[in-house]
Structure 1
């Protein structure tokens, strides 16, 4: 009888754990971020967390540390946990396909945030119009310097949709306004690399009078590079981070093409909620941009 009671208790405990895990999975969404070593994505995470709390979801946030293999491992972990939807900000628009296909095979819906995916099935992409933002940057430089502007472009991580689209938009804007792009080189959305890359480019492009950095982190690195070189440059960033906007107010940056990362994160959770309730979710959900300038 003693062994029977123990077996019954073990069975009840097992059933209880199953029910708890089931309930946990029903109420859990996940967010996989390319890196949390960037204020833009931290703000995006905070927007998602606030909306998840408002709607009654538990939100798991995992950092891929700009590593596609870490990104895949994160999604593998989430599939095992049985989350109901995954919001992913890809490290690379091509490499993320493996992670998305893994979620697809488990029938877990996936939505991309800020950066798109070139393969794999996604329900929706929530982002600013990066190409339009690149054109806005070119237009702003033209308005300040005219067609005589000679620009260096600091590119983001090669392979990301954000870098590609911002670059394409800027190139189109430069052609339209007859700006001269002296050089264009990746600095991987990183402040220190932005500093180092621009320092090197200024050596061979002494007549540059403007810089377009595809995010605020690189733009802040560009500010330091310009100071070190003793040059006065019109520097335009992208993202509208808190520090980027502060530097515009201090007249260290000329402008930043401001996204709304908090809203991107919130819309991701809101869209997942709609999907799980059987409502229609648009394939692309645009988030407005604005130019913040001196």
Structure 2
């Protein structure tokens, strides 16, 4: 039984909710996006709205502008609207736990998109296989080093994102586990707060300290831009130092086309959004979600039942000069036309 209550909305939230005048047959789902300042987040809004519409739900998106307190306030207001479900990409991984618990106590199921929360029970979580992204990157880097040096040998500069973010730590784990035992030196530094300028400084400093770097592996495409700027400043030409990145943003694909970057390992944004739509009916109805393997936009994805609830992990794919224009990669900003079929 859901609780239905009246509320007075704050001005910001009320304006954002005004677009929910007419829900589709199955009702309205609210998406709490952390920010709209990068292409991953803006594309996630379009994708979630598109795929949810295909299975009968209208989506209203609330932007938190990277403010934890604003997202908490939006959650409180939205719970009182008694929506069919709430999808959250949290600004702060743990700060929203009380609001999530309140929503579920009020009968509003909560799904998590992309930014995983493990400290409380949830109705469904859709995330990238971040450890697997690191493993894919390692496989590609082994190939590149072999092509250059005749075997998996050389010096790698790894530039993490912020060390407090599980996304980058998982990629690091997958990458380093796969590289263990190889004849490589891996130099690792974090770009604090995911700041591109920090990545640029790291690359510039290491080019002076370690001039024989074979390959740079950065954990996000926007960090690649700063890496390339530092390479150019050091007099390097495209290909002199190989570059690999992860997340699949448009800028990474452009750097591949320009010859600066050899591989981009995609974070499967479209599939992550599609998975939410595939399981939405079960989540809204409170039905059991079974563990197993599911096809999500052609990607073999795995649902496990974790302490925090059903969790689908979706693998990424390697983008290279040979397939960089494939429209299925989110960095080409063209959502796939594959029909979404709800899981029965």
**Structures share a fold, TM > 0.5?**
yes
Which of residues 283, 299, 322 in structure 2 aligns to 1:275? Answer: 283
Following superposition of structure 1 onto structure 2, how do residues 150-161 of structure 1 map, counting pairs within 5 Å?
150-161=155-166
| Pair 1:284-2:311 in alignment | yes
> 1:68, CA displacement in angstroms?
3.0
Residues 278, 198 of structure 1: alpha-carbon distance in 2 compared, 3 angstrom cutoff: same
Query: In the alignment, which residue of structure 2 is the partner of 1:17?
Result: none
Query: In the alignment, which residue of structure 2 is the partner of 1:15?
Result: none
Unaligned runs of 5+ in 1: 1-20
Query: In the alignment, which residue of structure 1 is the partner of 2:112?
Result: 112
Provide the alpha-carbon RMSD of the alignment.
2.7
Which of residues 241, 248, 265 in structure 2 aligns to 1:257? Answer: 265
Unaligned runs of 5+ in 2: 1-19, 146-150, 290-302, 304-309, 322-344
Following superposition of structure 1 onto structure 2, how do residues 62-77 of structure 1 map, counting pairs within 5 Å?
62-77=62-77
- Looking at structure 1, the residues matched to 259 and 206 of structure 2 have their Cα atoms a distance apart, in angstroms, of 23
Q: Deviations along 1:81-102, whole A, 9 cap, x unmatched? A: 3222111223343444344234
Which of residues 164, 183, 188 in structure 1 aligns to 2:188? Answer: 183
- Looking at structure 2, the residues matched to 29 and 49 of structure 1 have their Cα atoms a distance apart, in angstroms, of 9
Q: Deviations along 1:29-62, whole A, 9 cap, x unmatched? A: 1112233222122222211111122233221212
Structure number with bigger Rg: 1
- Looking at structure 2, the residues matched to 253 and 60 of structure 1 have their Cα atoms a distance apart, in angstroms, of 37
- Looking at structure 2, the residues matched to 97 and 230 of structure 1 have their Cα atoms a distance apart, in angstroms, of 49
Tell me whether 194-203 or 56-65 shows the greater mean CA deviation: 194-203
Residues 65, 164 of structure 1: alpha-carbon distance in 2 compared, 3 angstrom cutoff: farther
Mapped contact 1:29–1:84 kept (Cα < 8 A): yes
Count of residues paired in the alignment: 274
Q: Deviations along 1:189-208, whole A, 9 cap, x unmatched? A: 44444334433444444333
- Looking at structure 1, the residues matched to 162 and 62 of structure 2 have their Cα atoms a distance apart, in angstroms, of 20
- Looking at structure 1, the residues matched to 169 and 250 of structure 2 have their Cα atoms a distance apart, in angstroms, of 24
- Looking at structure 2, the residues matched to 121 and 178 of structure 1 have their Cα atoms a distance apart, in angstroms, of 43
Following superposition of structure 1 onto structure 2, how do residues 94-105 of structure 1 map, counting pairs within 5 Å?
94-105=94-105
Query: In the alignment, which residue of structure 2 is the partner of 1:212?
Result: 217
Q: Deviations along 1:110-132, whole A, 9 cap, x unmatched? A: 22222211312112221221101
TM-score, structure 2 as length reference: 0.70
Residues 117, 178 of structure 1: alpha-carbon distance in 2 compared, 3 angstrom cutoff: farther
Mapped contact 2:28–2:83 kept (Cα < 8 A): yes
